[in-house]
Homo-oligomer: A and B are copies of this chain.
């Protein structure tokens, strides 16, 4: 079993070194890491083949095998990802505020790294390089616990990253993959408050729930998205159809996809037939309430459970409401704090929706699919936070930092 206490101790010692690295040094290390990944591609692919073989021998489904699989192209993408992170502005050291108190103390609020970040993730081996890149650029040490399915791939990627760090005279302990597939190690990691400052689970709802329920280390909850589009009484129908199709079908199985349509009762007759036809052309199964139900193939009655379900599939629930207030109430009851949209030409309704809907990202006349670090211009993201604490929505480099106050005096004492 891995000596997690020792890994934590090393990470904690390393975080102080990383916090002091200048931007050029960090960028050079990221470029070197990109190069090493490309140079080591053959080794990484060979180790990945072991994981794939083990997966096949356990009859892993094709979809999971695809997520696990690395190719020359996917390794190049990982390398390119690190180069892109190098190109982003360094958040560390930014002075967020400075003020002078009546007693002469000068107080500055300075952006600093979070410290040691733990990432618990599932079978995609690219997370090993991606998470390292973002955490490292923001000055953090990172401890990675990947899925057991990908252990050989992850270790090979870690080895390549270590080679790069060594070349740049940076401690290899800037990134440490836990070399164990033992579940007890994950349990121990979730209680390592003495050295881990924050845990970010990346994966399905089950993984995230497990981490939230078992971790005593602070957690950033990410990725669950029961996202709604509300079509208001005076919406532009063509725009509404374009946006709903995009939010539902442009990519299924992602957290910012639309899972539920909320519609004003006054437009059921005029709008739904056209919408349902467009959805059915994309094979979307429609789970509608009584008022929104149409006798067509692929339209079934909705149950209460539908409204609480993140399908991650070609399915859409439909709820009819008699007012904007009812729409907002429904959304605030069932949503997961991710992304919600209204389609309307009524400016007062748009404002009310933006004010009252409680979610990380609230849209007027646009697709929920834009909730994404790249689309927001953050350059990259470690995930989408769905909690209220620390960061909400797409988390880029800034969201991987904290702050400290530095205070300069000339002998002040408190009276």
**A408 and B366 contact, CB distance less than 8 A:** yes
A367 at the interface (CB under 8 A from B): yes
0/1 interface trace, chain A 195-214, chain B, CB 8 Å (1 if under): 00110000000000000110
Instruction: From B212, B242, B246, B404, give the contact of A393 (CB < 8 A).
Output: B404
Q: Give the distance in Å from the alpha carbon of A216 to the alpha carbon of B92 in the complex.
A: 30
**B362 and A411 contact, CB distance less than 8 A:** no
Q: Which stretch (A30-38, A259-267, A353-361) binds chain B? A: A353-361
Q: Give the distance in Å from the alpha carbon of A362 to the alpha carbon of B77 in the complex.
A: 41
Q: Give the distance in Å from the alpha carbon of A243 to the alpha carbon of B413 in the complex.
A: 6
From residue A407, how far is it (CB to closest CB) to chain B in Å?
5
**A242 and B411 contact, CB distance less than 8 A:** yes
**B20 and A411 contact, CB distance less than 8 A:** no
A375 at the interface (CB under 8 A from B): yes
Task: List the B side residues contacting A245 at CB < 8 Å.
Answer: 413
**A362 and B404 contact, CB distance less than 8 A:** yes
**B375 and A414 contact, CB distance less than 8 A:** yes
**A377 and B101 contact, CB distance less than 8 A:** yes
A348 at the interface (CB under 8 A from B): no
Task: List the B side residues contacting A408 at CB < 8 Å.
Answer: 350, 363-366
Q: Give the distance in Å from the alpha carbon of A198 to the alpha carbon of B215 in the complex.
A: 15
Instruction: Tell me the chain A residues, 370-388 only, with Cβ under 8 Å from chain B.
Output: 370, 375-377, 387-388
0/1 interface trace, chain A 394-415, chain B, CB 8 Å (1 if under): 0000000011111111111111
Task: List the B side residues contacting A409 at CB < 8 Å.
Answer: 363-366
Task: List the B side residues contacting A188 at CB < 8 Å.
Answer: none
0/1 interface trace, chain A 245-258, chain B, CB 8 Å (1 if under): 11100100000000
Q: List 9 A-B contacts (CB under 8 A).
A: A16-B356, A101-B376, A107-B376, A197-B389, A361-B404, A361-B406, A366-B412, A370-B407, A389-B389
